[in-house]
Amino acid sequence: MAKGGTQIRKYRLQGAGLDLALPYLMLAPGLLIVLGVLVYPLWDGLRASTKVYRYGSVVADAGMQNYIKLWSDPQFLNSLWVTVKFVALSVTFETILGFALALFCLREFRGIRLLRTILIIPMVITPVVVAIVFRLIYASDAGMLTAISVWMGGGQVQILGSPVKAFIGLVILDVWEWTPLMFLILLAGLQSLPHEPFEAARVDGAGSWRVFADLTFPMMRPVLAIAIVLRTIDAFGTFDQVFVLTRGGPGEATRLVSIYGYDTAFKFQQTGYAAALFVTIGLVVLALAFSAVRLLRRVDAS
C-alpha cells in the first residue's frame, strides 16, 4: 500500500512539462528573498569583518586583524562575560520557576485557564515596552519601588544607578518576561508524558519526591534540554530591553555583546571591527546550538 503510494507520487513527479519544474518554481520566491536579504548580507558581513572602515567606506584590508584584536579588547571580553552571566542567571531562574509552575499547573483546577491566559501577557508585550515598564518600576524619582517605599515610610530606591543592582534588575526583567514561555513549553511536555509509569508508581506507593526524581525528571530531560537551548540562544541576542532600560550602563555593568557591537558599529563607526564581533557571536551561538543537538541525540538514545 505504502509502496504503491510512493510509486504514484514518483510518477506524478516525473510527469510532463510544468509539473517537472513545479518544486523549483515553488521554492524559488522564498529562496530568492532569503538569498538576497539574508545570505548575501551574511556573506557581505564576513567580508566586511576583514576590512577597516572609515565612515561607511573601506579604507584598508585587515585580514584576520579584527578577530585577533577582539580577544585582547577588554571591553569586548567584559561584554562577553556580562552576557554569559546574564544568560546563565536568567535561564537558570526561568527554568526552575517555569518547571515548578508547570508541575503546579499539571492538575486541572479552577482558575488554571485564567492563570495561563495571564501568563501569556509578559512574553507577547513588545520588548521595548517591557523595558519601559521596568524603568517605571526602578526609576528613583517616579518608580514603583520608590512609591511603595515612601508609602511605607522609607526613602527613595535607587536601582539603575548601581552596577550590581542594575544587572540584577535586568535579570529580573528577563525572568519576568520569559518564565511564561518556559512554563508553556514544559507544561506541554508534562502533558504529553505517558500515564502508565505514574500509575504503576502510585500502585507501588511511591512518594511524590520519588516520582519526581525517578520518573518525571528523567522523562522530561529532552523537553527541558530543548527549552533551555531555545531560551539560551534567544537570550544571547538580547538587545531591545537593555537598550531601553540601561543602554548598557552604569559603566559597563549591563553592556551585553549585542549592545557593545551595536555601539561599535553605529556610535563609533568601526564597521569592520563590529562585523567581526557579530560573526564571532554568530559562530558561538551556532556552536552552542549544534552541540546541544548532539547532546540531545545522546539523551534520546540512552
Partner 1 sequence: MNSRLARIGVMSAVLAIVLLPIYWLVSTSLKSNREITQEGTLYPHVPTLDNYIRLFTEKQFGAYLTNSLVVTFFSVAIALVAGSMGAYAIARFRLPFAMERKVGLFLLTLRIVPPVVILIPVYLLMLKLGLLNSWLGLIATYTAFNITFCVWMMESFFREIPVDLEEAAMVDGDSRFGAFRRITLPLAAPGLAATAIFAVLVTFNEFLFALALTATPRAMTMPRGTATLIGRIDTDWASMAAAGVIGALPIVFFALLVQRHLVRGLTMGAVK
Instruction: Kindly identify the residues of this chain, within the stretch 188-227, that bind partner 1 according to CB under 8 A.
Output: 188-189, 192, 223, 226-227
- Tell which one of 69, 230, 249, 296 touches partner 1 (CB under 8 A): 230
- To the nearest whole angstrom, how small is the minimum distance from the Cβ of residue 276 to partner 1? 10
- To the nearest whole angstrom, how small is the minimum distance from the Cβ of residue 253 to partner 1? 19
Check residue 26 for interaction with partner 1 (CB under 8 A). yes
The answer to whether the beta carbons of residues 190 and 220 sit under 8 Å apart is: yes
Check residue 82 for interaction with partner 1 (CB under 8 A). no
Check residue 239 for interaction with partner 1 (CB under 8 A). yes
Check residue 120 for interaction with partner 1 (CB under 8 A). yes
- To the nearest whole angstrom, how small is the minimum distance from the Cβ of residue 200 to partner 1? 23
- Tell which one of 87, 89, 91, 137 touches partner 1 (CB under 8 A): 137
Check residue 176 for interaction with partner 1 (CB under 8 A). yes
What is the SS3 assignment for the chain? Answer: CHHHHHHHHHHHHCCCCHHHHHHHHHHHHHHHHHHHHHHHHHHHHHHHCCEEEECCEEEEECCCHHHHHHCCCHHHHHHHHHHHHHHHHHHHHHHHHHHHHHHHCCCCCCCHHHHHHHHHHHHHCCHHHHHHHHHHHHCCCCCHHHHHHHHCCCCCCCCCCCHHHHHHHHHHHHHHHHHHHHHHHHHHHHHCCCCHHHHHHHHCCCCHHHHHHHHHHHHHHHHHHHHHHHHHHHHHCCCHHHHHHCCCCCCCCCCCHHHHHHHHHHHCCCHHHHHHHHHHHHHHHHHHHHHHHHHHHHHHHC
- Tell which one of 63, 88, 96, 104 touches partner 1 (CB under 8 A): 104
- Tell which one of 70, 233, 249, 296 touches partner 1 (CB under 8 A): 233
- To the nearest whole angstrom, how small is the minimum distance from the Cβ of residue 10 to partner 1? 8
- Tell which one of 16, 55, 108, 109 touches partner 1 (CB under 8 A): 109
With 0-12 / 13-18 / 19 or more C-beta atoms within 10 angstroms meaning exposed / middle / buried, residue 272 is buried
Which lies closer to partner 1 via its Cβ, residue 18 or residue 301?
A: 18
* Residue whose grid cell is 559562530: 283
Which lies closer to partner 1 via its Cβ, residue 132 or residue 201?
A: 132
Which lies closer to partner 1 via its Cβ, residue 80 or residue 119?
A: 119
Which lies closer to partner 1 via its Cβ, residue 180 or residue 248?
A: 180
- To the nearest whole angstrom, how small is the minimum distance from the Cβ of residue 167 to partner 1? 19
Question: Binders of partner 1: how many residues, by CB under 8 A?
Answer: 99
Which lies closer to partner 1 via its Cβ, residue 200 or residue 261?
A: 261
Which lies closer to partner 1 via its Cβ, residue 91 or residue 139?
A: 139
- To the nearest whole angstrom, how small is the minimum distance from the Cβ of residue 199 to partner 1? 20
Check residue 152 for interaction with partner 1 (CB under 8 A). no
Which lies closer to partner 1 via its Cβ, residue 200 or residue 246?
A: 246
Could you give the maximum distance between any two Cα atoms of the chain, in Å? 83
Angle at CA 278, nearest 5°, toward 59 and 241?
A: 125
Check residue 59 for interaction with partner 1 (CB under 8 A). no
